[in-house]
Structure 1
Amino acid sequence: MTLDIDFVRSCFPALSEPSLAGQAFFENAGGSYTCRAVIDRLFRFYHQRKVQPYAPYAASHAAGAEMDEARARLAAMMGVEADELSFGPSTSANTFVLAQAVRGWLRSAGGAIVVTDQDHEANSGVWRRLAADGVEVREWKIDPETGHLDPAGLKPLLEDGRVRFVCFPHCSNVVAEINPVAEICATVRAAGAFSCVDGVSYAPHGLPDMAALGADVYLFSAYKTYGPHQGIMLMRRELGELLPEQGHWFNAGTLYKRFTPAGPDHAQVAACAGIADYIDELHAHHARTEATPAERAREVHRLMREHEIRLLRPLLDQLASRNDIRLIGPRQAERRAPTVAIALDRPVAPVAAALAAQGIMASSGDFYAVRPLEAMGVDLAQGVLRVSFVHYTSEAEIAQLMLALDEVL
């Protein structure tokens, strides 16, 4: 069964918004459109529940129940316990708080940490700053030609047994190659270390199956997975109880509060249940069979990826046939997310502006991926052109993009 793109697009109000007619959205790596189920929940919370949650009166009770629902349903879809999922204002903020906890732990436990130069700065810079406290930071480097992060390059960094924490992306927001997370996490665990996966650039294409991946920490952004502007952090209990808490001391006994220094936005947390609503809608429309939350999420993941791969192939073929651009990352659609960064032999910003005149919403710059672009020899002053899409993108929009690229390039 293939993805019913008409049904999918009917679930996103922005795709039928008159003011956006004729505009094809290709900046999804910066943030997706929000599905109707999330918008409806957010509207209801602000109209009927805008109170402190968990008090005994009816509106407050309903507010707390909706927040708990979001945590429980999303956790079940990703195969973790409800209290192993925490919300925060963004993934950058969640990673910063996590780094402070790791800082305190490594001060007492000693050891080294591994980072990559393939990451968005949110999962690189905060860890590198630990060097100021005497923590040894080791870099797992990408191939400067392809941007590939070779798993074989990690093993020498782990050989002496001193590494305690390894941070890497599920896929980069400019390279887009899907890293073999399960293989890497198994290697990390065998070396006696913990793994921290930045899933921001992958989760929009399918929620993580934590049992299959084996990660100790997995971070992603709800606003890139059709939801409100929240960061979501999944942390295994073993690590969560080992690290020093970063929230109020009297909340230390609640796992999901240990790494939340301030209360997240109540309405947005509650609205995140709409992400689960949407996944359930997709599954019910396509599969029409009973399934567990995790099974529903896996099937929807499959539908999303098959659709994206089919649309990505002709775009990659078009770009690979040109000799006046540098296509960053793999040329095989199956190996990458549909986030396509292109280095040009001319200033990039005017090209993005010319695409906008053709109804293509895309952008240019470094996208906070300064380290991988620098490692691959891309002129940072110029940056790259990036076009990115997700499963609600249609064949017609891909055709519009390809025509515009031919004309503008």
Structure 2
Amino acid sequence: MALDVEFVRSQFPAFSSAELAGHAFFENAGGSYTCGAVIDRLTRFYTHRKVQPYAPYAASELGGAEMDEARARLAAMMGVDSDEVSFGPSTSANTFVLAQALRRMITDQGGAVVVTNQDHEANSGVWRRLAEDGIEVREWKVDPQTGHLALADLRAFLADGAVRMVCFPHCSNVVAEVNPVAEICAIARAAGAYTCVDGVSYAPHGFPDMNALGADIYLFSAYKTYGPHQGIMVVRRAVGAALPAQCHHFNAGVLYKRFTPAGPDHAQVAACAGMADYIDALYAHHVPGGTEGPLARNNVVHDLMRAHEVRLLQPLLDHLAARNDLRLIGPRDATLRAPTVAVALDRAAEPVAAALAAHGIMAGGGDFYAQRPLQAMGVDLDRGVLRLSFVHYTTEAEVGRLMTALDAVL
């Protein structure tokens, strides 16, 4: 069964926009197009439900019910309890709050934290700043040639049993190698450490099955997964109880409020149910009459997305690898990575991105808040990298157009 890309694109108003016509979008790692189901729910909430939720009158009750629906349906898709899903203004803000909780835990109980230099700064800097309070921060470093994280290095960090949290990405937003999350989490658990996985760069390619991954905390951004600008985090019950609450004292007993210092945007929370609508629509279209539950439906759609992306990605990787005027960052095998392709050029990347725009290619150049991995791999930050990122609504023709434009510009 292959992904029906025409049906996929019919779910996104952007593809019928006159302003976007003639342009191929290759900066999805910075934020995806929004699906129609999310836009419809957001419009409905702002039009008919924009009151304080959970009050005893109809509009308020309907607004609160839609917020609850979003949490419940996303939780069911990922195989967790509804109260294990929290919303916040962004993944960066959510990670900051978690770091403050870990600061208190380690200050009281002792211990260390492991971070990587493969991460986007949002899942690295806040943990690293714990060192300012005397907390030991151990850096799991990438291979300077490949960007790969070796499991042997992690095992060495965990050998003394002092680590309380291992923070790492599902995949980097520039290296893009899909890390073996389940294996890493099992190694950490055996050493008595919790895991915090930055899924921002992976979730656009398929929402996680949390039980299969085994992560204690998993974070991603709704605006990169076809939704509104919210940060979403799954905090499993055990780690949620162990970390000190960061909320109003009277909310500490509610897990989904425990790491939410301020109320999230009500309308955007409610609109996140549209992401579940979209996954269900893809499942129903590809599996007519299917009766599987939310988690199984999500896994079917995940596999459809990934298979389509891998098929389109391999020719692009081969095309780039054949050139002698650039360095392809990360694996050359499409099955090992996400379709987020960073290349270091023999010139500054941003002017190249601007030149591609003249060919109808929307891409980006810079460091993408990934200065640590780029520096570790010897990339000149003044030049940065050209990043070409796509998702499952991208077509084979668009990838071909990208390769033609690259040849013309380079």
Equivalent in the alignment of 1:323: 324
In 1: Cα distance, 2:153 partner to 2:287 partner: 41
Equivalent in the alignment of 2:174: 174
Report deviation, 1:381.
Answer: 1.1
Letter paired with 2:146: T
Equivalent in the alignment of 2:400: 399
The answer to whether structure 1 residue 310 and structure 2 residue 303 are counterparts is no
Letter paired with 1:71: R
Equivalent in the alignment of 1:110: 110
The answer to whether structure 1 residue 148 and structure 2 residue 148 are counterparts is yes
Aligned residue-pair number: 409
In 1: Cα distance, 2:255 partner to 2:76 partner: 16
Letter paired with 2:320: L
In 2: Cα distance, 1:397 partner to 1:379 partner: 29
Equivalent in the alignment of 2:14: 14
In 2: Cα distance, 1:19 partner to 1:346 partner: 30
In 2: Cα distance, 1:51 partner to 1:27 partner: 35
Report deviation, 1:152.
Answer: 1.6
Equivalent in the alignment of 1:346: 347
In 2: Cα distance, 1:10 partner to 1:150 partner: 41
Q: Name the TM-score, length of structure 1 as normaliser.
A: 1.00
Report deviation, 1:156.
Answer: 0.5
3-state DSSP of counterpart to 1:341: strand
3-state DSSP of counterpart to 1:253: coil
Equivalent in the alignment of 2:43: 43
Equivalence map 1:382-393=2 (5 Å)? 382-393=383-394
In 1: Cα distance, 2:3 partner to 2:396 partner: 12
CA contact (8 A) 2:348 2:382 kept: no
In 2: Cα distance, 1:109 partner to 1:236 partner: 20
Letter paired with 1:405: L
Report deviation, 1:278.
Answer: 0.2
Report deviation, 1:151.
Answer: 1.3
CA contact (8 A) 2:251 2:258 kept: yes
Report deviation, 1:313.
Answer: 0.9
Letter paired with 2:184: I
In 1: Cα distance, 2:242 partner to 2:185 partner: 18
In 2: Cα distance, 1:300 partner to 1:153 partner: 34
3-state DSSP of counterpart to 1:378: coil
In 2: Cα distance, 1:85 partner to 1:350 partner: 41
Report deviation, 1:350.
Answer: 1.3
Report deviation, 1:225.
Answer: 0.2
CA contact (8 A) 2:29 2:224 kept: yes
Deviations 1:349-399 (A, max 9, x none): 211111000000001000000100000000011110001000000111111
In 2: Cα distance, 1:197 partner to 1:217 partner: 6
Equivalence map 1:4-403=2 (5 Å)? 4-288=4-288, 289-403=290-404
Report deviation, 1:201.
Answer: 0.1
3-state DSSP of counterpart to 2:19: helix
In 1: Cα distance, 2:47 partner to 2:397 partner: 38
Deviations 1:236-291 (A, max 9, x none): 10010111111100011100001000000000000000000000000000012101
Deviations 1:109-165 (A, max 9, x none): 100100000000000000000001111000000000010111121000011111111
Q: Which runs of 5+ in 2 are unaligned?
A: none
In 1: Cα distance, 2:20 partner to 2:116 partner: 38
In 1: Cα distance, 2:261 partner to 2:164 partner: 24
Letter paired with 2:112: A
Report deviation, 1:26.
Answer: 0.4
In 1: Cα distance, 2:70 partner to 2:191 partner: 35
In 2: Cα distance, 1:257 partner to 1:41 partner: 23
In 2: Cα distance, 1:3 partner to 1:98 partner: 37
In 1: Cα distance, 2:396 partner to 2:49 partner: 40
In 2: Cα distance, 1:336 partner to 1:50 partner: 41
Report deviation, 1:329.
Answer: 0.2
In 2: Cα distance, 1:135 partner to 1:66 partner: 41
3-state DSSP of counterpart to 1:197: strand
In 1: Cα distance, 2:193 partner to 2:332 partner: 33
In 2: Cα distance, 1:7 partner to 1:348 partner: 34
3-state DSSP of counterpart to 1:154: helix
Letter paired with 2:344: A
Deviations 1:275-331 (A, max 9, x none): 000000000000121011000000000000000000001101100101110000000
Q: Which runs of 4+ in 1 moved over 4 A?
A: none
Letter paired with 1:390: V
In 1: Cα distance, 2:348 partner to 2:9 partner: 34
In 2: Cα distance, 1:168 partner to 1:109 partner: 22
Report deviation, 1:214.
Answer: 0.2
Q: Name the TM-score, length of structure 2 as normaliser.
A: 0.99
In 2: Cα distance, 1:350 partner to 1:165 partner: 40
Report deviation, 1:101.
Answer: 0.5
In 2: Cα distance, 1:398 partner to 1:92 partner: 31
3-state DSSP of counterpart to 1:19: coil
Letter paired with 1:349: E
In 2: Cα distance, 1:98 partner to 1:329 partner: 29
